[in-house]
Amino acid sequence: MGLTAIQIGMVPEEGAGRLGVVGMPVWMWVRSPSSTTVGPIRVTDSDGALTVTLDATVTAIDWYMGDGTVVHCAGEAARGTEYVDAYDLRESPTCGHVYRRQGSPYTITATSHWTVDWSGGGQAGTIPLDLVATTTRNIGELQVLSTN
């Protein structure tokens, strides 16, 4: 079926000089979703009189945020919502997090939970499958000094 782990979409973005801030919303989403990264995908194959059909889809993504928090995004929310600058400081409506302390770097793991339903030869079943993608983010803390 060629199923693969997702490509992580996330704000704050990854890269040199990029820094998330304690207390600011973090958005997570599936970058460039496709049938092989989130489904649905159907494959049918035959060998003589035996035909087997597989239907696969991601039912949830668990985001292990590196600070002890697990964000569970399921159903339609599993894909998340891609961040655009117009959203400003709003929290993600589908899949987000807020860090409460700084860390450099936090390791973030996105575990995609697939459900693969199969049928063939007069039988049927379900195969659970988990695929993992990992990234890191630096989260810092801002302090403001007043000279009143």
Q: Cβ of 82: how many Cβ atoms within 10 Å?
A: 17
**pLDDT tens digit sequence for 2-47:** 999 999 999 999 888 888 999 999 999 999 999 999 999 999 999 9
**pLDDT tens digit sequence for 44-70:** 999 999 999 999 999 999 999 999 999
Q: Cβ of 78: how many Cβ atoms within 10 Å?
A: 23
| Cβ atoms of residues 78 and 3 within 8 Å | no
Return the exposure string of 20-36: e unless at least 16 CB atoms fall within 10 Å of the residue's CB, then b: beeeebbbbbbeebeee
All residues at 6 or more sequence positions from 144 whose CB lies less than 8 Å from its CB, including other chains: none
